[in-house]
């Protein structure tokens, strides 16, 4: 395996290829709307798989040293089988290095025709799974919801080339049903490619992106993944490739992201790197979530950085182990407490948040006046509370200031 990761990004046009290579990309993923599940390319009636021929030829003619992979992460149905046969012929007739698939059937179908990268959106989260697939897949892409510690374990146990998405969209829901297609108010060019936003009532400003294309309906998180501040962990993972997925975004933003990760890979000085990092943050269309994380909760490694000293504090009364929004939170007590006390909430995602306990319940849902070390106690839900948060005892007069 290589020790220096490839910078990998998606390209669908010659112009995107030229820009990516000029900025230091080592490996391009050719993105075609008929083959790419999460394609942000507005489909046209004239779309043809044969346009891929021209893009491959241009890439290898202009940039013979660049690595080429073709994105084919659709989940194949009966209607797609003829397309897959045609794609196989195109790949075998062209200098393509890899094909990227998510469908396990296609993994086997293409494995005797070209080197295959198993491109998993979800799953593929244990060394056992990856060990089994490495005999068919030349490389594997790990899903986003694997924390740093698990990546290191997988890398140690499997010894196979691995990639991760270091920057970009976080897919949280997919359906083949096309819920948004044909909205009357959309222009003709965007009937099949609709970008709209929804906002979480409980958390104003959290705008989820929705995409509708010929492959189905997609919901993305209100944030984008960003590992620009996590070089130490990225380096320790010893990955083969870093994937930057800024499809559908402004060209200036795409350019800034590629520049930033190329600089990170080349270990440029902080003085040179900081202005580019600032540009990425300024141009980002959504909040950038740092760190390796599980989709619905920050990686415990990051939490430990913030709360390590707090764990040893005599004032920590317990930890939040469950959150039911708008109803209850459950606390595992580290020490006894009584109703009427006040607590500060400690968690990397929480700013100034305090709780005054006016009601509490035991694990059997009976009202109580407090609890002892080791008890599970329920408190009323408060907006902003996070699972794994610590509760630190504070004087009541401080909480009321």
- Residue 30 pLDDT: 97
In a domain, 289, yes or no: no
Mean pLDDT of 100-118: 96
What is the DSSP pairing of strand 288-290 with strand 27-30? unpaired
pTM reported for the whole predicted model: 0.73
Q: What is the CA radius of gyration of the chain?
A: 24
Instruction: For residue 1, tell me if it sits in a domain.
Output: no
Asked if residue 243 and residue 320 are part of one domain, the reply reads no
pLDDT level of residue 233 (50, 70, 90 thresholds): confident
Same domain assignment for residues 229 and 144: yes
Q: What is the pLDDT of residues 324-345, one digit of tens each?
A: 888 899 999 989 999 999 999 9
User: Is 292 among the domain residues?
Assistant: no
Q: In the prediction, which pLDDT does 120 show? A: 85
Same domain, 67 and 92: yes
What does the alpha-carbon distance between residue 360 and residue 343 come to, in Å, rounded to a whole number?
14
Residue 290 falls inside a structural domain:
no
pLDDT, averaged across the chain: 85
The pLDDT of residue 101 is: 97
Q: Do 187 and 231 belong to one domain?
A: no
pLDDT-derived band at 198 (thresholds 50, 70, 90) equals low
Give pLDDT, residue 172. 85
Cα–Cα–Cα angle for 302, 306, 308, nearest 5°? 100
d(CA 285, CA 235): 27
- How many structural domains compose the chain? 3
The pLDDT of residue 1:
35
Same domain, yes or no, for 361 and 301?
Answer: yes
Domain that holds residue 331: 297-399
Q: Looking at per-residue confidence, does 215 or 206 come out higher?
A: 215
Do 192 and 216 lie in one domain? The reply is yes
Asked if the model's pLDDT at residue 296 lies above 50, the reply is no
211 and 106 within one domain = no
> Could you read off the pLDDT of 347-377 as tens digits, one per residue?
877 878 899 999 999 888 889 999 998 888 9
SS3 160: coil
* Strongest mean pLDDT among 63-77, 147-161, 195-209, 221-235: 63-77
In the block, residue with structure tokens 């046209």: 44
Backbone angles phi, psi at 354, to 5 degrees: -130, 155
Domain limit, last residue, from 180, 203, 222: 222
Mean pLDDT, residues 131-143 taken together: 94
Query: 278: which residues sit within 8 A by CB, 6+ positions away?
Result: none
Residue indicated by tokens 């295959």: 116
Higher-confidence residue of 97 and 388: namely 97
């Amino acid at each position: 395996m290589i020790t220096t990761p490839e910078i990998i990004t998606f390209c669908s046009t010659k112009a995107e290829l030229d820009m990516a290579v000029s900025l230091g990309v080592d490996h391009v993923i050719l993105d075609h709307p008929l083959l790419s599940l999460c394609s942000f390319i507005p489909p046209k009636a004239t779309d043809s798989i044969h346009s891929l021929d021209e893009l491959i030829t241009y890439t290898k003619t202009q940039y013979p040293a660049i690595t080429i992979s073709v994105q084919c992460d659709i989940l194949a149905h009966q209607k797609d089988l003829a397309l897959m046969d045609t794609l196989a012929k195109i790949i075998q007739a062209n200098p393509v290095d890899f094909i990227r698939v998510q469908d396990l059937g296609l993994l086997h179908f293409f494995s005797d025709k070209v080197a295959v990268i198993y491109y998993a959106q979800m799953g593929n989260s244990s060394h056992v799974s990856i060990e089994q697939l490495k005999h068919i897949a030349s490389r594997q892409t790990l899903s986003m919801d694997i924390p740093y510690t698990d990546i290191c374990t997988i890398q140690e146990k499997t010894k196979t080339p691995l990639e991760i998405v270091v920057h970009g969209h976080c897919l949280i829901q997919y359906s083949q049903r096309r819920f948004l297609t044909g909205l009357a108010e959309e222009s003709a060019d965007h009937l099949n490619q609709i970008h709209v936003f929804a906002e979480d009532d409980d958390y104003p400003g959290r705008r989820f992106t929705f995409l509708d294309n010929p492959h189905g309906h997609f919901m993305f998180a209100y944030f984008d993944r960003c590992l620009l501040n996590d070089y130490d962990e990225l380096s320790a993972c010893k990955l083969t490739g870093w994937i930057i997925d800024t499809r559908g975004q402004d060209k200036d933003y795409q350019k800034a992201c590629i520049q930033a990760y190329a600089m990170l890979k080349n270990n440029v000085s902080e003085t040179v790197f900081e202005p580019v990092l600032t540009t990425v943050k300024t141009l980002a269309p959504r909040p950038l979530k740092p760190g390796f994380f599980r989709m619905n909760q920050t990686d415990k490694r990051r939490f430990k950085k913030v709360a390590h000293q707090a764990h040893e504090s005599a004032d920590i009364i317990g930890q939040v182990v469950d959150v039911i929004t708008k109803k209850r939170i459950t606390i595992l007590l580290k020490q006894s407490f009584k109703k009427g006390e006040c607590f500060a909430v400690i968690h990397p995602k929480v700013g100034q948040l305090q709780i005054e306990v006016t009601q509490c319940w035991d694990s059997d849902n009976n009202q109580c006046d407090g609890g002892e070390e080791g008890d599970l106690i329920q408190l009323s839900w408060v907006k902003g509370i996070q699972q794994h948060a610590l509760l630190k005892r504070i004087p009541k007069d401080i909480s009321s200031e």
